[in-house]
C-alpha cells in the first residue's frame, strides 16, 4: 500500500504502464494530480485524523457592530466545524446562531452559567458578551490538511495511518489520467471506485466509534431561548395524544 507522494506516483505509473519520460505523465503533471486528489480525499469526510485543537486568548476577541464578542476561525479550519469550546477550562455550550441572536435579544442581561454559550457563522465564532469567563480559550474542531510538499517524494499523506485512503487517491489520479486520454467511461469508473473506497473506510471508522462510552444523557437538551420561566411540562405533556 502506498503511503507517500513518491509511492503513490509509482503505483499510478505501474497501473498506467507508463513512465514520467512520457509527455503525458511528467512529474509536474502527476504531482499536481496527486495533490488535488489529496485535497479531495482529505475533505471527503470529517476524518478523525483531521481533528485539531487550537488555543487562543480572550483578548483576541473583538466587539463587533452588533455588540457580539467575535473571534475568527483558525486558519485552515473548516467552516462550521468548532465542536467544543472551553474558556478557563470551563465548558461553553454551542447553540444555533439564530437561537443565540434571539437569546441575546430577549434576555440581554443574563450572567453566570447562563451566559456560557457560543455559536458560529461563516468564518467567525461568537461568545456571549456577558460571559463570566476570560483568559485562555481552547477550541476543538476540524482542519483541512495542508497541500503535499511536491518537492519531497517521502512526503506523507493525511492517510498515512489509513492506507485505504491512499488507494482512493491512486484511483482518483487514474481518473485524471483517463480524462487526459479522453477515456471518459474509464475515468468515471476510477472516480467511482475512489468514492467507494472512502465510503467503506468511513463505515469502518463509524463502526469503531461504537466502542466509545459516555455518560447516560438525553440526545437533546431542552433549551427555551425565549422564555426561561417556562418549565418543561408546559411544552411536553404526557397525555397530549389522548
CB 173 within 8 A of CB 12: yes
pLDDT of residue 231: 45
Q: Are 85 and 56 in contact (CB under 8 A)?
A: no
Q: What is the pLDDT of residue 19?
A: 65
Sheet holding 124-127, edge to edge: 51-57, 136-142, 84-87, 90-94, 117-121, 124-127, 69-72, 62-63
The H or E element containing residue 112 is: none
Q: What is the pLDDT of residue 218?
A: 44
Say if pTM beats, i.e. exceeds, 0.95: no
- Residue appearing with cell numbers 447516560: 216
In angstroms, the CA 86 to CA 208 distance is: 27
Q: What is the pLDDT of residue 84?
A: 95
Length in residues, the chain: 242
Q: Residue 229, class by beta-carbon neighbours within 10 Å (0-12 exposed, 13-18 middle, 19+ buried)?
A: exposed
The mean pLDDT values, 10 residues at a time, for the chain of 242 residues are 88 84 81 95 91 93 88 91 94 94 88 92 93 94 90 91 90 96 96 97 82 49 45 43 38
C-alpha cell at 200: 467503506
Q: In the numeric block, which cell numbers belong to residue 209?
A: 466509534
Q: 178: which residues sit within 8 A by CB, 6+ positions away? A: 184, 186, 187, 190
List all residues 6 or more positions away from 201 whose beta carbon is below 8 Å from its beta carbon.
162, 164, 165, 168
Q: What is the rounded distance in angstroms from the CA atom of residue 206 to the CA atom of residue 190?
A: 25
Amino acid at each position: 500500500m502506498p503511503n507517500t507522494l513518491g509511492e503513490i506516483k509509482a503505483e499510478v505509473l505501474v497501473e498506467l504502464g507508463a513512465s514520467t519520460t512520457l509527455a503525458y505523465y511528467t512529474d509536474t503533471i502527476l504531482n499536481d494530480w496527486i495533490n488535488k486528489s489529496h485535497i479531495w480525499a482529505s475533505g471527503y469526510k470529517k476524518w478523525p485524523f483531521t481533528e485539531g485543537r487550537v488555543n487562543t486568548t480572550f483578548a483576541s476577541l473583538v466587539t463587533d457592530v452588533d455588540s457580539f464578542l467575535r473571534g475568527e476561525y483558525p486558519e485552515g479550519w473548516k467552516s462550521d466545524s468548532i465542536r467544543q469550546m472551553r474558556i478557563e477550562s470551563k465548558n461553553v455550550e454551542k447553540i444555533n446562531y439564530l437561537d443565540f441572536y434571539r437569546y441575546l435579544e430577549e434576555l440581554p442581561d443574563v450572567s453566570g452559567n447562563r451566559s456560557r454559550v457560543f455559536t458560529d457563522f461563516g468564518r467567525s465564532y461568537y461568545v456571549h458578551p456577558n460571559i463570566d469567563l476570560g483568559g485562555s480559550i481552547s477550541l476543538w474542531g476540524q482542519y483541512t490538511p495542508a497541500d503535499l510538499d511536491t518537492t519531497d517524494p517521502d512526503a506523507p499523506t493525511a492517510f498515512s495511518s489509513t492506507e485505504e485512503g491512499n488507494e482512493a487517491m491512486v484511483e482518483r489520479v487514474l481518473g485524471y489520467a483517463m480524462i487526459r486520454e479522453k477515456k471518459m467511461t474509464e475515468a468515471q469508473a476510477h472516480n467511482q471506485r475512489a468514492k467507494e473506497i472512502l465510503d467503506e473506510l468511513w463505515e469502518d471508522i463509524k463502526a469503531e466509534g461504537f466502542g466509545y462510552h459516555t455518560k447516560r444523557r438525553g440526545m437533546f437538551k431542552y433549551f427555551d431561548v425565549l422564555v426561561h420561566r417556562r418549565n418543561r411540562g408546559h411544552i411536553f405533556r404526557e397525555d397530549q395524544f389522548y
